[in-house]
Chains A and B, each alone.
Chain A
Amino acid sequence: MELEKFSYDNRIPKLFAIATITWGVVGMLAGVIAAFQLAFPALNLGIEYTTFGRLRPVHTNAVIFAFVGNAIFTAVYYSLPRLLKTPMWNNTLSKIHFWGWQLIIVAAAITLLAGYTTSKEYAELEWPIDIAITVIWVIFGVNMMGTILTRRERHLYVAIWFYLASWVTVAMLHIVNSFELPYSALKSYSWFAGVQDALVQWWYGHNAVAFFLTTPFLGMMYYFLPKAANRPIYSYRLSIIHFWSLIFIYIWAGPHHLLYTALPEWAQALGTTLSLMLLLPSWGGMLNGLFTLRGAWDKVREDPVLKFIVVAVICYGMATFEGPMLSLKNVNAISHYSDWTVAHVHIGALGWNGFLTFGMLYWLLPRLFNTKLYSTKLATTHFLIGTLGIILYAVPMYWAAFRTYFMMSAFTPEGQLQYQFIDVVQSMVPFYALRGIGGTIYLIGVLLMVYNLIKTAKSGKFVAREEASAAPLTKTYTAPKKAHWHSLIERKPVMLLVLSFIAVAIGGLVEMVPTFLVKENVPTIASVKPYTPLELHGRDIYIKEGCNNCHTQMIRPFRYEVARYGDYSKAGEFVYDFPHLWGSKRTGPDLARIGGKYPDSWHFNHMLEPTSMAPGSVMPPYPWLFEKELNIGSTNSKIHAMRKLGVPYEKGYEAQAVADLKKQAQKISDNLAKEKIKIPSDREIVALIAYLQRLGTDIKASKISGK
């Protein structure tokens, strides 16, 4: 039991740091382009791969999983060994983790641009990649646990708790939300339909934000802030309370993303209540961070690292205040589907995640290369530019959000909607442009950082491993009287009884679950029928082109929405929607009841040249839909998969599916021919039109028949 010699490996943190920076630039660039596309649709240069619908998922995924993800791993692989006085458990796993993750990112970028998407926000990646993610994530977890179990420091510093919680929860969320049924090598249908799918999606969506973008970064804050300021955290007790209360509440706050939707009211209420409760721990954490610097603000004035961290923490405070507010129904009525949400997440992403990452990098690289930061001045400039960028980004978005709301909900004295949707879109354009500029400025700041850090690395010599030594843990550190929990149970028969009770009961619950699954109890509407094969294809094209990134399919029960889009959506309408396509942002109008609103030719022309039908539209043209032939070959497998998921196609429908498809396609192309539009019936556009014309018609039909 001598002092044991060991060394911290700096190679992996370095690699992750480099990846962080690289993907950061890529992701933000994608963001900037996408942002400008909303103002200038032509920016996709007529290429299908660069339309907003496909670029936006690339942006979100790149920033969340590539930039932030790698930042987290950098932090963990650097801080965890040092906090536990032991090297990472297994270096090979570390390597696999790193290269595996980068591979996933590349694969993600390619598939997303190619249009392979599940359409679930922040979980767009298709099933093979989902599996890969699971594997790598498990490897990461094993490595982390191994390190913890072989630690030489008995106490688990609060940061480690945050890392662990993040890992466990993200694993669970990813798995549950990725329940999907593959029907081809790269495509699958979500296991859940409609309302259910939406609920899982946002249960995931919210917690992804919570446990991927927040808790790991809180861990980073609790490690790097004290380190950078060289003073202990303001109140360690508070940090512990912060952690436990946060994780116990966070899990439940998901449903607030679906206020006013077809989600049961009490579930919405639950979401709101818990979101409000979240305010306390979140602000506890923020204040703990800021108070740590009390009496050290002079340091903050010099040190760009602290500057970044401080603003990051403040942004965390702002975002966590805004969040609960947004979950209030009446606020949500304004913010939902609008740019407010966009602004909210970007306060978090640019401020909290971005700036904390930058702070970490500025602190870390000089240490990895055993040198001074190349230019503090440059870093400070980056800080100023970055802050300006955030402001220029957020302010227009907030403004836009309110403007949208007031225009959308404005009625003339005669009770007519005062503005057409297109008017709103028009008035948004300048804001979109401004937002793009804000993003650009922020990106320029990042480029400054890249230069600065490269120079720094050049000026120093990389320290591959840091020697250290510590004594192993001693068994009898705590007083001998302390008993092991197992013997504790044996001594307490009551406890044993309780535990067995619980064990049995859990078993019982597990048995109950299937019965729930079978007995689907969303009030079904008789007139709602499964999609025809052609519509199914059309729906998949809708998904492939990422239409749901701009168009919602969920009409909320407000006068101004009903007047604009038609009767508000019912839970029962979505029972065959695998996955749901409610969307979260209305750049374009809602499509829940678009079916039958316009003739086929309108859609035809609109998809070919949107401005021809809707002057001033910011939607790009989709010419390729008019060339590509529909992949009929996959029809059967689609039908088959759908039936597996519980869609009542009668047995052996596959046999006639293709025939039905062709028939319906022919009808549409004939229909178009009547209006002097020549289009072969085997083109994708036909399927898409079929789908659009179907949307929301079931209920209309029932209304008619009801009369």
Chain B
Amino acid sequence: MSIIVITAIASLLIAGIFLAALIWSIKDGQYDDDFAPPNRILFDDKTTKHK
């Protein structure tokens, strides 16, 4: 069942990548503010037409 080891390692590597991503996002403060982001996506884009 060597394949299990291979899949396990493959899965682990991927999971490791995700873990790294998670740590980055925490350190980057991605999740400090959980109010602004979900609301921001609802705002229309700033058009360059100025008054």
Q: Do A and B touch directly, given a CB cutoff of 8 Å in the complex? A: yes
Name A residues whose Cβ lies closer than 8 Å to a Cβ of B.
3, 5, 8, 82-83, 85, 153, 155-158, 161, 164-165, 168-169, 172, 176, 192, 195-196, 199-200, 203, 223, 226-227, 230-233, 236-237, 239-240, 244, 247-248, 251-252, 254, 264, 267, 466-470, 478, 482, 485, 509, 513, 516-517, 519-522
Contact (Cβ within 8 A) A231 B42: yes
Contact (Cβ within 8 A) B37 A521: no
The 8 Å CB contact of A513, one of B1, B9, B39, is B9
User: A83: which B residues are within 8 A, CB to CB?
Assistant: 41
User: B14: which A residues are within 8 A, CB to CB?
Assistant: 168-169, 172, 251
User: B34: which A residues are within 8 A, CB to CB?
Assistant: 236-237, 240
Contact (Cβ within 8 A) B31 A240: yes
User: B30: which A residues are within 8 A, CB to CB?
Assistant: 155-156
Contact (Cβ within 8 A) B25 A267: no
- The complex places the Cα of A383 from the Cα of B39 at a distance, in Å, of 29
Contact (Cβ within 8 A) A230 B42: yes
Contact (Cβ within 8 A) B35 A521: no
Contact (Cβ within 8 A) B27 A267: no
5 additional A-B residue pairs with CB within 8 Å, beyond A176-B6, A240-B34, A251-B15: A3-B48, A82-B41, A195-B1, A196-B1, A199-B4
Smallest distance from the beta carbon of B3 to chain A beta carbons, Å? Answer: 4
Closest to B24 in A: A485
List 11 contacting pairs A-B, 8 Å CB cutoff, sorted by A.
A156-B30, A158-B37, A161-B21, A168-B14, A169-B14, A196-B3, A227-B42, A232-B38, A267-B1, A467-B47, A516-B5
The 8 Å CB contact of A233, one of B9, B29, B31, B38, is B38
Contact (Cβ within 8 A) B46 A469: yes
Contact (Cβ within 8 A) B41 A470: no
The 8 Å CB contact of B11, one of A155, A165, A251, A482, is A251
Known: A226-B38, A466-B45. A264 touches B1 (CB 8 A): yes
Closest to B47 in A: A467
User: B48: which A residues are within 8 A, CB to CB?
Assistant: 3, 5, 467-469
- The complex places the Cα of A155 from the Cα of B40 at a distance, in Å, of 10
Contact (Cβ within 8 A) B2 A521: yes
User: B25: which A residues are within 8 A, CB to CB?
Assistant: 156
Smallest distance from the beta carbon of A642 to chain B beta carbons, Å? Answer: 18
- The complex places the Cα of A335 from the Cα of B36 at a distance, in Å, of 45
User: B5: which A residues are within 8 A, CB to CB?
Assistant: 513, 516
Question: What is the interface of chain B mostly: helix, strand, loop, or mixed?
Answer: helix
Contact (Cβ within 8 A) B9 A509: yes
Contact (Cβ within 8 A) B41 A513: no
Contact (Cβ within 8 A) A199 B7: yes
Name B residues whose Cβ lies closer than 8 Å to a Cβ of A.
1-7, 9-11, 13-15, 17-18, 21-22, 24-25, 27-31, 33-42, 45-49
Known: A226-B38, A485-B27. A520 touches B46 (CB 8 A): no
Contact (Cβ within 8 A) A236 B42: no
Q: Which 5 pairs between the two chains have the least Cβ-Cβ distance?
A: A516-B2, A232-B38, A196-B3, A468-B45, A236-B34
Which of B5, B22, B37, B48 gathers the greatest number of chain A CB atoms within 10 Å?
Answer: B37
User: B46: which A residues are within 8 A, CB to CB?
Assistant: 3, 468-470
Smallest distance from the beta carbon of B45 to chain A beta carbons, Å? Answer: 4
Smallest distance from the beta carbon of B28 to chain A beta carbons, Å? Answer: 7
Which of B13, B25, B48 gathers the greatest number of chain A CB atoms within 10 Å?
Answer: B48
User: A168: which B residues are within 8 A, CB to CB?
Assistant: 14, 17-18
Smallest distance from the beta carbon of B46 to chain A beta carbons, Å? Answer: 5
User: A155: which B residues are within 8 A, CB to CB?
Assistant: 30, 33, 36-37, 40
- The complex places the Cα of A239 from the Cα of B38 at a distance, in Å, of 10
- The complex places the Cα of A240 from the Cα of B34 at a distance, in Å, of 9
The 8 Å CB contact of A469, one of B28, B35, B36, B47, is B47
Closest to A515 in B: B2
- The complex places the Cα of A199 from the Cα of B2 at a distance, in Å, of 11
- The complex places the Cα of A292 from the Cα of B31 at a distance, in Å, of 20
Closest to B9 in A: A509
User: B33: which A residues are within 8 A, CB to CB?
Assistant: 155
- The complex places the Cα of A244 from the Cα of B14 at a distance, in Å, of 13
Smallest distance from the beta carbon of A231 to chain B beta carbons, Å? Answer: 7
Contact (Cβ within 8 A) A478 B28: yes
Closest to B37 in A: A155
Contact (Cβ within 8 A) B31 A513: no
Contact (Cβ within 8 A) B24 A252: no
The 8 Å CB contact of B18, one of A195, A199, A200, A247, is A247
Closest to A192 in B: B3
- The complex places the Cα of A522 from the Cα of B35 at a distance, in Å, of 54
User: A196: which B residues are within 8 A, CB to CB?
Assistant: 1-3
Known: A172-B14, A468-B48. A516 touches B37 (CB 8 A): no
Smallest distance from the beta carbon of B17 to chain A beta carbons, Å? Answer: 6
Closest to B45 in A: A468
The 8 Å CB contact of A521, one of B1, B27, B29, is B1
Smallest distance from the beta carbon of B18 to chain A beta carbons, Å? Answer: 6
User: A158: which B residues are within 8 A, CB to CB?
Assistant: 37
Contact (Cβ within 8 A) B7 A176: yes
Closest to A251 in B: B11
Closest to A198 in B: B3
- The complex places the Cα of A156 from the Cα of B2 at a distance, in Å, of 38
Contact (Cβ within 8 A) B41 A248: no
- The complex places the Cα of A274 from the Cα of B18 at a distance, in Å, of 18
Closest to B13 in A: A172
- The complex places the Cα of A521 from the Cα of B22 at a distance, in Å, of 37
